[in-house]
Structure formats: C-alpha cells, structure tokens
Structure 1
Amino acid sequence: MMCLLAAIALSSFLFTADPKGGLQIASVKVYPASKRHHTSKKQELAFVNFNITADLTPLFHWNTKQLFLYLEAEYTNSQGVKNEVVIWDRIVRRKEDAVINAVGKNKYMFRELSSTFKNVAPAHYALKYNVMPYVGVLTYGQAARTVEPVAFPESQSRVS
C-alpha cells in the first residue's frame, strides 16, 4: 500500500501545468483607519480594486483535491523590509469552477505596520495558487502578475 501511495505521489510531478491569467489593478486608495480598527496608534488602510481572469483547469487532474488561489501584494516598506501580504483568496474545489473571472476588492485588511503608506515603494500584485493533492506534496505557482508596480496614493480623508 505504501509503495502504491508513493507511486501516486511521484506521478503527480509528471503532470506539470503552467496556467496563465490576467490581473489588472483598477484602483488603490488609502484611508486613515477609524478608531475601532486600531486602538492607540494612527494607522492607514489600503483598499485595492482588481480584475482577475484565469483558466486554472490545467491544474486539475486525478490527484488534485482542490486549489487555494490568492492575490498577494508585494512591496518594500519605508524601512526597507520586503512584505508579501495576502489581500484576497478563494478555494476552488472542482475543475468546472476553475475558470476565474473575479472583479472585486481586497477581502482582508491591508495595512502597513509602520502605520503609513507614505514613502512606501509601489507594489507588485501576483495571483498565486497552491495545488492540494489527494496524495503527495503541495505545489505552488503563479498564474498572473502585474507588469508595472502600482503606487500607493496619499491618504484620503474618510467621508462619514
């Protein structure tokens, strides 16, 4: 039984797929956080609107249980620290659902730990995936990436 499972796990490496997709960042807005989001320190939050198109069906084969798809912002802050922040994700369980056409905004709070996006380098955004097999190791990949980095604008005041 162990030999069969090992053979199944190793055979998954024979099925290499390189899915491609498109990623456009429609807008990035930065606002000061309200008091309820953070207690003592002033903080800024970024809101990213995006358009994703991708065909991930080549990743599905007999050993694919599901895909974990996520949008990641990659940037270097004003202190020179590289950050990779997941701002949106989706689980794809069936091959029929693997053609992605998503228009939306970040699902998770996107804030800079130094409290401000001022003087932060522009960010690249990448659509990445994780293939979760029935048997074997997890595999990672990238389906789309912004060509040009997207700058963080000056903070805007919130309208109540």
Structure 2
Amino acid sequence: MHSIVSRINNTSAFLSSCLMALLAAIALSSFAFTAQPQGDLAISSIKVVSSNARRYPNKKQDMAFVHFNITADLTPLFHWNTKQLFLYLEAEYANAQGVKNEVVIWDRIVRRKEDAFIKFAGKNKYMFRDISSSFKNVPPANYSLKYNVMPYVGMLTTGEAARTSEPVAFPPTQSRL
C-alpha cells in the first residue's frame, strides 16, 4: 500500500492546490468591486521662490510651494480585500522645453476605513522644482488626487479621486529673504 509519508504528501499537495484556487478566486472577485470615490481638490495659492541650489551654492533654482485643500471620501474603496490605500497629489505640467512632467508633491497612506474620509489643508510635502531651474515660461499645471489600492491578494489598482477644474498658473519668482 501507501506509506505514511506518501499519504501526507498527497494530502498536503491537495490542500495547497485548494488554497491556491481559493486565493485565485479572491483575487478575481476583487475586480467585481468598481467603486468611484468622490473628492474635491482646490489649489489655494502657489508661491515660487528662488534660492540657492542644494549642491551648487552659486546656482539659483526656483522652488514652488503649493497650498491646497483636499476633501475626499475614499470609504467605497475599502472592502474585505483592501489592505491599505496609497493616496498622492500629483502635479502635471510641461516645462519650457515642452517635456511633460508628473511630480508627486504630497502623499499619505490610509490603513483603515475609518480614516478614509480625508479633509486636509496644507502645502507640498516634497520639494517641487523643475529640472530647468526656473518656472519662468512654464505653462499652467493640472493637479490631481490619485490613489493605489493595495489588496491582500491580487493586483494593485489605481484611480483618480479628484482633479482641479482648470490649470493653475505659476506666479512670478520671488527672491528669498
């Protein structure tokens, strides 16, 4: 007949196959949830300041400080397969040479459904600089609030919760005091 070792091997192979089928069903069922979160994004002010570059003390570089207000209800994104959300504010603009840029200026991780209603007013968390060292002659930028849903099992999904209604122009550069 069969030895104890072969019976344990057969049983564990069957159980691992069942577990993989269950995980695949969970991952596929996540696509059934198509939630559209609602949000509002307003840019209250932008200030462009000229300062010394970090690595080159004799070179000037413009830095933009964006003040914004976010109100978003992300609770529809949370269901039984959602581990956490990665939420970020992105600035999309084309520089003076016409190269399209997408820059993350603020982010937050939301781990619980209770914390998924976002009401935040603040400024950019990360430095907002252009590679050309100046925001002069740069067309207006669009700002959008985007998210990544990180599930327990399955693929990451992304989406957009809010966007500014019209592009916001960069003001003239101010010298740092």
TM-score range, shorter chain: over 0.9
CA distance in 2, matches of 1:30, 1:4: 53
Given the two structures, how large is their TM-score scaled by the length of structure 1? 0.96
RMSD over aligned Cα atoms: 0.9
Structure 2 unaligned segments of length 5 or more: list them: 1-18
Structure 1 unaligned segments of length 5 or more: list them: none
SS of structure 2 residue aligned to 1:43: strand
Match of 1:96 in 2: 114
Q: Matched residues, percent identical?
A: 75
- Structural mapping, 1:34-45, within 5 Å: 34-35=52-53, 37-39=54-56, 41-45=59-63
Task: Note if contact 2:96-2:139 (Cα within 8 Å) is conserved in structure 1.
Answer: yes
1:151 aligns with 2:169: yes
- Structural mapping, 1:4-153, within 5 Å: 4-35=22-53, 37-39=54-56, 41-153=59-171
Given the two structures, how large is their TM-score scaled by the length of structure 2? 0.87
The structure that has the greater radius of gyration is: 2
Q: Which runs of 4+ in 1 moved over 2 A?
A: none
- Name the structure with the higher helix share: 2
Q: Which has the higher contact order (CA 8 A, sep 6+)?
A: 1
Task: Note if contact 2:90-2:102 (Cα within 8 Å) is conserved in structure 1.
Answer: yes
* Counterpart amino acid of residue 12 in structure 1: S
Tell me the matched-pair count. 158
CA distance in 2, matches of 1:52, 1:136: 29
SS of structure 1 residue aligned to 2:98: coil
How far apart are 1:158 and its partner, in Å?
Answer: 1.4
